[in-house]
Structure 1
């Protein structure tokens, strides 16, 4: 029976039928003030979900361990001051999407969804853009619930095209 199980798993693996999973969701615990001269990585340090362990809460990066197409979503909130939440989602250090929220009248939130193709080792993170007037507000609640979040998941893995090309 054991041999039959191993053979079945081998067949499933070779056919690509095994489920490859990767997902994460994290939120920001504390407010963040931008550097006036350099973009600052936003480290979402409260992990809600981290299937496959691809999100690193020490540096705020999601690093792909599976080649495929991924969906990412991030939300940022401006402080209730004259500060602005100006952030970007980056792939390997290159901006792919930005958000902007002004806090002049009240807290404002911005969010964006991005679909990206990633190779193994590609990384995605959120940055607070450089500027003396930029900052993020989260929540001062004791439970750590926050308004700024970063989430992503593998939509589907990529396989080499094995179709006949005659």
Structure 2
């Protein structure tokens, strides 16, 4: 089945959001799938993404990630466990999005994961650059990034 450019762009966008904040992509996707359930997704192993319980769990995880990002000596996002979590999150979001639109999950998995990988490193170095150039407190830049990931995720899914 041919996948629309809109779905491809959304998978890439959700992957990018996961690269900035690992939990936000599944949270945003779950929120929208709760509002607009997919019969195709319900019949798959990814059906849990549109469960109300998943919506609650992902929101709690996102709040925890936002709080954890404020810890001064927290791990950098470019260490292996952090990269792996972000890539997995982007891949999951891409696969869920594709399946919910009656498309094969492999392409969504790859697009979401690859986008998350690229943005993980890009956003890390951009944040370091902004911290240095603006002499901003890391927590302020992190808070802005939190907001950007939420708003960005909302925009990706609204289109």
TM-score clears 0.5:
no
Highest Rg: 1 or 2?
A: 1
Q: TM-score, normalised by structure 2?
A: 0.24
Of Structure 1 and Structure 2, the greater strand share is in 1
Instruction: Point out which structure has higher relative CO (alpha carbons under 8 A, 6+ apart).
Output: 2
Q: TM-score, normalised by structure 1?
A: 0.23
